[in-house]
Amino acid sequence: MSRLPAPMGLLIDRNQPLDFSFDGKPYQGLAGDSIASALLANGRFLLSRSFKYHRPRGPLTMAGQDANTLVQLQSEPNVLADSHLLESGVQVTGQNFNGSLDNDNDAYLGKFSKFMPVGFYYRSFYKPKGAWKLWEPIIRKKAGLGVLDLKFQPEYYDKAYLFADLAVIGAGPAGLQAALTAANAGAKVLLIEQQPVLGGSLTYARFDLEGNRAQTLRRELVDAVEGHANIRVLKKATCNAWFTDNYLPVIQNKRMYKVRATQCLIASGSFDQPVIFRNNDLPGVMLTSAAQRLMKLYAVKPGKRAVVLTGNDDGYLAALDLHDQGVEVAALVDMRNNPADRALLLALERRGIVCHLGSTVFEALHEKGMRHVSGADIRKITGLGQVASSGLVLDCDLLCMSGGYMPVYQLLCQAGGKLAYDDQLAEFTLSGLPKNLTVAGSAHGYHALDNVLADAIHAAAEIVVALNLELTSKPLATRPEAQVNFPWPIFPHPKGKDFVDFDEDLQVRDIINATKIGYRDIQLVKRYSTVGMGPSQGRHSALPTARLVAACTQRGISETGVTTARPPFEAEKLAHVAGRAFDPYRQTPMHKRHMDAGAKMMPAGIWQRPAYYGKASERDACMQAEALHVRNKVGIIDVSTLGGLDVRGPDAAELLNRLYTFAFLKQPIGRSRYALMTNEHGVVIDDGVCARFGENHFYVTATTSGVDRIYQQMLKWNAQWRLNVDIANVTAAISAVNVAGPDSRKVLEKVCQDLDLSAEGFPYLGVRQGTVAGIKTRLLRVGFVGELGYEIHVPARHALKLWDALMQAGQAFDIRPFGVEAQRLLRLEKGHVIISQDTDGMTHPAEIDMGWAVSRTKPFFVGRRSVDILEAQPQKRKLVGFTLPRVSPRPLEGHLVLSGADISGNVTSCEYSQSLDKIIGLAYAAFDQSQPGQQIPIRVEDGVIVHATVVKLPFFDPENQRQEH
Amino acid sequence: MPFNLLKYGLSSEYPVEVDLPAPKELKSSYDVVIIGGGGHGLATAYYLSKYHGITNIAVLEKGYLGGGNTARNTAVIRSNYLTSEGVRFYAESVRMFEGLSNEFDFNIMYSHRGQLTLAHTDATVRSFRQRAEVNKHFGGRTEMIDRQQIRELVPSLNLDPGHLPVIAGLWHIDGATARHDAVAWGYAKQAAKRGVEIHQLTEVQELVIENGTITAVKTNRGTIKCGCAVQAVAGMSSQLMKKAGIRSPIQTFPLQAMVTQPFKPFLDPLVSSSALHCYVQQTSRGEVVFGGGSDPYPLLNTRSTLDLKESLLAHAIEMFPFLANAKLMRQWAGITDMTPDYSPIMGLSPVNNYYLDAGWGTWGFKATPICGKTMAELVASGGKVPELIRPFGLERFSTFQQVNEMGATAASH
């Protein structure tokens, strides 16, 4: 392994060798190498196989911008070898091959490319009928690239927020200069650079004959930037998207910074563009900038004998670089008839390098196995994309190409920038950027170094003004510059393999044919041919595709446009976007007590609640025992998750009167009322109780999962109606328990001395404020489970003390905690509905027999009009109670109620009741099936029909004596 | 090697056949103008030409063919709905999808995968059971399955994400996917063959309504007279209805989706979880597609957001932890016309001879064939509403006869 001498190798540490393996063979690289640079240093160019034809591929950009270097790490597929930092001991393999990377048994597919025209899969494999079923699995297996490690467990990734006056994306000459200019004026600048070093093109490109300018300028700018108090630099950081209002996700290491910047400057530079000729995908054929990066960043000699194909003067400078580093330059091939700067031509000739003007490479040659380029067939250009019938063949092991530059426009287009094409300059221009977003440098169409700097100062100056700061730098003027883009670097070959899209193995004729079949819109071409849909997302294919489609459909490129650039800029790990695996959930203050008592927990909205106390295998027995205990003695349930809303103010009653169906204006203090809420469609959406503690104070409960929405509704309506009310969501601030059962009063009497707890002193539906176990509480006499019971609400910080005190006081009465399951059974016995279980998105009050809860006199509540219309229509269905003998197959919730051959409803609640020794349930049935005594057929598991009897509700204690005594 | 590919390989001339004819001048008048060149509009045109002998039809598309929600949806085909009306309708659609490739002579790559929906709460189990039962009632193949069966179907799925362990699944055997673009192109190709004119880059700017009857449409390429018109412009339905002077109950929300790089196949069924607001499927190209809930507020814009991507992918990783290492390639959005009852609006409108195909929310793609077929019947009969779509008329919102597909909510008490 030999490397070029310093100053080549900006990124590597020659004193730190690293061992690794590729496809099972050991290799050595250096710290700072990418996987690809280390392999190339060892002469290994073939890194991957292409998607469709399994052609051998090597690095194209050396900048992580192509899919040719996708390799597989042990637990990570599709890793870009040319941007992934080499680590000691890493085991790298190729991917998407059959056999071995060097001898891929699927490489024969390339020979059949004629039989696989663009979109071939749309045109075949479906005849005769049913054939597709056989083909599909075979084709699926061939698709896809790397293999995901299904055993992989997520690692720690996190997020952080950053703020800046100005975010500069890209630390090339433009980004550095603009950051400095703005920072000197006092702006807080965040400078974001993908590479491990600052400088952008200054780190690898050559700007002058002597080859000094880049290094000198880079040192000058970087020193100033790195020492600047107003500039924060993020290296190896990728700004991966632009979201509205300069919201920028920046990925660095295992973190995503979410940046909010007042101003954003995009100095993202431009991508070198390939030239299209036959076999332009062979290993050893690379972008000119890739060869320069290899030398200058990694000290890797990209080849022994090179041909440089160019469409601008930069190719000459690159040829000088190659020559300086001991690469024999067999020829410089310029597609133009003359270079802009003739001094370059002379400089090359002085070094004995032959220049072929007005010529192109028509075909890259190779030896058997296609593992590397072995020569170039050079032809005179005779017309647009046309060449002479014979030319000159030169041996080479490196073919550098550059057809021009495409701005790195992705972020700009995500921000709404529109690309237009200037046919004269063969260059894209941008317009329509949002406020506070600016572009500078080669992304802005300036390529001469002095112009890039001048443009950066100009852009920064505008930003400084927008930030209300004082400019301290002098503006520089830009000068006209030479064209850098060759307008038609596309040379189709009759035998094809002239690749437009390397990711998707698409050749010139594929694009042309797509338009011929009728897919003339650039978006349709993309969708039909899949051009630009691969991992590099059109970095190299967008421009030639636009050119080809425009030519084929007799339009200009401005008319055809290019395909849309969507976020992210480059592929991002899901882990980066997801960040820390947050799984927020809520526990009540009594959570530990429940766990100690052996509770099986269940999710209830965002909360965890005890379903029952006992083993999962004994669920039914536990629930029945708990329920029976409440009926016979006393039970306690944690109802902290119940929604709680404090509504205060002179208009509190008015607000509730408009929001809920009942009447609340005359509700006495010290009383609660059932509260039913409908939406504007008249559909029941929530319920609870409104407890009036004062003239201007209601405490309103809501369902656990509904409270956030109800709170939102209250705020919305309150804002709209401009009432004088303050609404607070106190769900998490207030905890509550319900003590229920015949002995509940006795339990409470032991811990509450300041209230008259007698049936007369504190009647059913009464509400009180009193002291329980030394804690100030709100007490509500409610009857959800149908027994004498008290809901006791306390500030959450006192809840555990309350629970313990009640358990202590209840010991003498054998108090036991009960869970949600028992509560559901108890309320079912009482025929109480649970909103969202016994109601659906269509239920209106009459259907659940809640007509009584709808005020008949008040003119308005949300849903009034709809409820009136619905009630005036013949009722179609009704929620009914039904019973079945204990021994009957038990319907499950969700089973259907039938009426003849039709579905007339569904079971919403069903359970065996020990108190009644029957299966009881609630179900929707057709209105003509809903009279007590009627039989309703229910289809249970395995299609069995049971005939349940409709009964009057409630099932248990029809006179409600138990809860009211 | 399949015969067709041989034909292509050995032919010296390409193309052997054209899918979409080159653009033409607009005529001054058509029997039927279909506004919107997406799957629905093209399907309607195709069935009109195929079954009803009506071919003097212009399909007008303001952008490119199938470039709206046809291009943006995540291509899920299923019929496991909640209501009788819904199940009957979508089941017919699934049946039609299965035969489309051969009908089109164009492979839509219909891929029968099965769809698995996960329940993490007993409320969801309840609603799933009802969906399964309603499906079975109409001959569909949908079953409730337990954790063990889920494990066997999708071994790579994490059954215990956070504090929401999976407790059961709804296994919809008929669930499938297809190449969504190909569906639009297949309809376009066959409709064009029968003489239907498809005009891209042709935007309808105004509707000409005389005495309550539509007579013409004004486009950026001139005014066209029409015997009748159909609107099939998912995402812009309410805007176009406004131009027709029709009050609509539609609210339009962005719906985002995203896709990874391609990987070798590891996931056959389409998997979704309503509690985690996430659905996942692997395409035939090997890419993993994610979708989730709509954006929280109405907007007529297809921009992407970071917030939604963050929460969606966090949930995707909870379902499939190893996807943490997969790389996302692209993110996009469509705009969805939501109706109050999550069912579409199909049928007549208050404007004579103006037919509605709207309100398709997030479920438009899967209805493409049956929607096209029934809309064609409606148009061809001069306004006799076919039985299958009668429940979906616009008037249901004023007569309170909605077809609720919102599902039993996943709330608990």
Look up residue A150 and give its DSSP letter: T
pLDDT tens track for B76-112: 999 888 888 988 999 999 999 999 999 999 999 999 9
Q: Quick one: what percent of chain A has pLDDT higher than 70? A: 100
Q: What is the average pLDDT across A126-138?
A: 87
What pLDDT was estimated at residue A139?
A: 85
Q: Is B301 on the interface with A (CB under 8 A)?
A: no
CB contact under 8 A, B182 and A122: yes
In whole angstroms, what is the distance from residue B285 CA to residue B195 CA? 34
Q: Provide CB contacts within 8 A for B169, sequence distance 6+.
A: B116, B117, B118, B119, B128, B144, B145, B146, B149, B150, B153
Q: Do B411 and A894 touch (CB under 8 A)?
A: no
Decide if A744 is inside a domain.
Answer: yes
Question: Please, which pLDDT band fits residue A1 given cuts at 50, 70 and 90?
Answer: low
Q: What is the pLDDT of residue B12?
A: 57
pLDDT one-digit tens code per residue, A547-604: 999 999 998 888 888 877 889 999 999 999 999 877 788 999 999 999 999 999 999 8
**Which one of A706, A729, A752 terminates a domain?**
A729
Are residue A147 and residue A169 in the same domain, yes or no?
no
Selecting from B3, B20, B328 the residue whose C-beta is nearest the C-beta of A518 gives: B20
Query: Is the predicted pLDDT of residue A811 greater than 60, yes or no?
Result: yes
d(CA A181, CA B199): 52
**Contact predicate A147/A242, CB 8 Å:** no
Q: Is residue A843 part of a domain?
A: no
Residue-wise pLDDT for B246-282, tens only, equals: 999 999 999 999 999 999 999 999 999 988 889 999 9
CATH code of the domain containing A322: 3.50.50.60
Q: Would you say residue A23 lies in a domain?
A: yes
Same domain, A694 and A718: yes
Closest Cβ opposite residue A144 in set B129, B264, B331:
B264
Identify which of B2, B265, B331 has the shortest CB distance to residue A141: B265
Question: Model confidence over A715-730: pLDDT tens digits?
Answer: 999 999 999 999 999 9
Which of A146, A147, A837 has the CB atom closest to B123's CB atom?
A837
Q: Are residues A652 and A557 in the same domain?
A: no
pLDDT at residue B412 greater than cutoff 50: no
Residue B408 in this model has a pLDDT that exceeds 90 = no
Q: Which residues of B touch A136 (CB under 8 A)?
A: 109, 111, 284
Same domain, A759 and A723: no
Q: Based on the fold, state whether residues A513 and A662 are members of the same structural domain.
A: no
For chain A, the C-alpha Rg in angstroms (whole number) is 38
- A636 and A672 both lie in a single domain: no
Tally of domains within chain A: 7
Query: Under a CB-based contact definition with an 8 Å cutoff, are residues A343 and A209 in contact?
Result: yes
Q: Which of B261, B318, B341, B402 to mutate to test the interface with A (most CBs of A within 10 A)?
A: B261
Residue A649 belongs to some domain of the structure? yes
Is A586 touching B (CB cutoff 8 A)?
no
User: What's the pLDDT at B411?
Assistant: 27
What is the domain-level CATH number for residue A543? 1.10.10.1100
- Cβ–Cβ of B8/A77 closer than 8 Å? no
DSSP string, A757-799: -STTTS-TTBEEEEEETTEEEEEE---TTSSSEEEEEEEGGGH
Q: What ranges in B19-112 are assigned the alpha helix state H?
A: 39-51, 69-72, 84-98, 100-104
What is the CATH number for A765?
Answer: 3.30.1360.120
- Flag if B4 and A124 touch (Cβ within 8 Å): yes
Q: Quick one: pLDDT band at residue A27, thresholds 50, 70, 90?
A: very high
| Statement: residue A856 has pLDDT above 50 | yes
Kindly state whether residues A23 and A138 are assigned to the same domain: yes
pLDDT digits (tens, 9 = 90+) for A705-762: 999 999 999 999 999 999 999 999 999 999 999 999 999 999 999 999 999 999 999 9
DSSP A349: H
Q: Does A846 touch chain B (CB under 8 A)?
A: no
- In this predicted structure, the answer to whether residue A808 has a pLDDT above a threshold of 50 is yes
One domain, residues A741 and A603: yes
Residues A93 and A197 in one domain: no
Which stretch of DSSP H or E encloses residue A364? strand A359-366
The minimal CB distance from B306 to the residues A243, A836, A892 is found for: A243
The mean per-residue pLDDT over the stretch B305-313 comes to 94
Beta-carbon separation of B411 and A249 below 8 A:
no
CB B127: neighbour CB atoms within 10 A?
25
| Residue range A214-230: mean pLDDT, rounded | 97
Task: State the residue for tokens 């008037």.
Answer: B395
Q: Give chain B's mean pLDDT.
A: 92
pLDDT grade for A646, boundaries at 50, 70 and 90: very high
> Is pLDDT above 60 for A822?
yes
Compute φ and ψ for A642, nearest 5 degrees: -55, 135
pLDDT at B14: 65
- Asked if A152 reaches chain B (Cβ–Cβ under 8 Å), the answer is yes
CATH code of the domain containing A681? 3.30.70.1400
Per-residue confidence (pLDDT) for residue B9, from 0 to 100: 60
- Residue A954, preceding peptide bond in cis (omega within 30° of 0): yes
Residue A717 touches partner B, C-beta closer than 8 Å: no
Of the pLDDT bands very low, low, confident and very high (cuts 50, 70, 90), residue B413 is: very low
Dihedral sign of CA atoms A491, A492, A494, A499 in order: positive
16-75 in chain B: CB under 8 A from chain A: 17-23, 63-65, 67, 71
CB atoms within 10 A of CB B347: 22
pLDDT digits (tens, 9 = 90+) for B140-163: 899 999 999 999 999 999 999 888
Flag the least confident range among A895-899, B6-10, B387-391. Answer: B6-10
Are residues A335 and A260 part of one domain?
no
Provide the CATH topology of domain B112-173+251-338.
D-Amino Acid Oxidase; Chain A, domain 2 (3.30.9)
* Cβ within 8 Å, pair B284-A139: yes
A835, part of any domain: no
In a domain, A482, yes or no: no
With a CB cutoff of 8 Å and minimum separation 6, the contacts of A912 are: A620, A624, A886, A890, A918, A919, A920
Which one has a higher pLDDT value, B274 or A321? A321
Which residues of chain A are within 8 Å of residue B110 when distances are taken between CB atoms?
132
Q: Is residue A389 part of a domain?
A: yes
Which pLDDT score, from 0 to 100, does residue B20 have?
A: 93
Residue B11 contacts A where some CB pair is shorter than 8 Å: no
Are both A313 and A338 inside the same structural domain?
A: yes
Q: Would you place residue B13 in the very low, low, confident or very high pLDDT band (cuts 50, 70, 90)?
A: low
Picking from B85, B105, B107 by the largest number of A CB atoms within 10 A of its own CB, the best residue to mutate is B107
Check whether B10 has a pLDDT greater than 70: no
Whole-number Å distance between alpha carbons of B166 and B358: 35
pTM for this prediction: 0.93
User: Model ipTM?
Assistant: 0.93
| Closest by CA position to A359, among listed A394, A323, A406 | A394
Distance CA A561, CA A520 (A): 12
Query: A671 and A745: one domain?
Result: no
A905, part of any domain = yes
Share of chain A above pLDDT 90, in %: 87
Return all residues near B94 (Cβ < 8 A) that are at least 6 apart. B77, B78, B79, B174, B176, B366
Instruction: Name which of A513, A583, A894 is nearest B162 (Cβ-Cβ).
Output: A583
B408 or A269, which is more confident: A269
Q: Token pair of B305, please? A: 């957001």
* Enclosing domain of residue A767: 594-640+733-826
B277 closest CA partner among B322, B234, B307, B250: B307
Least confident of A130-144, A358-372, A810-824, B226-240: A130-144
Mean pLDDT value across chain A = 95
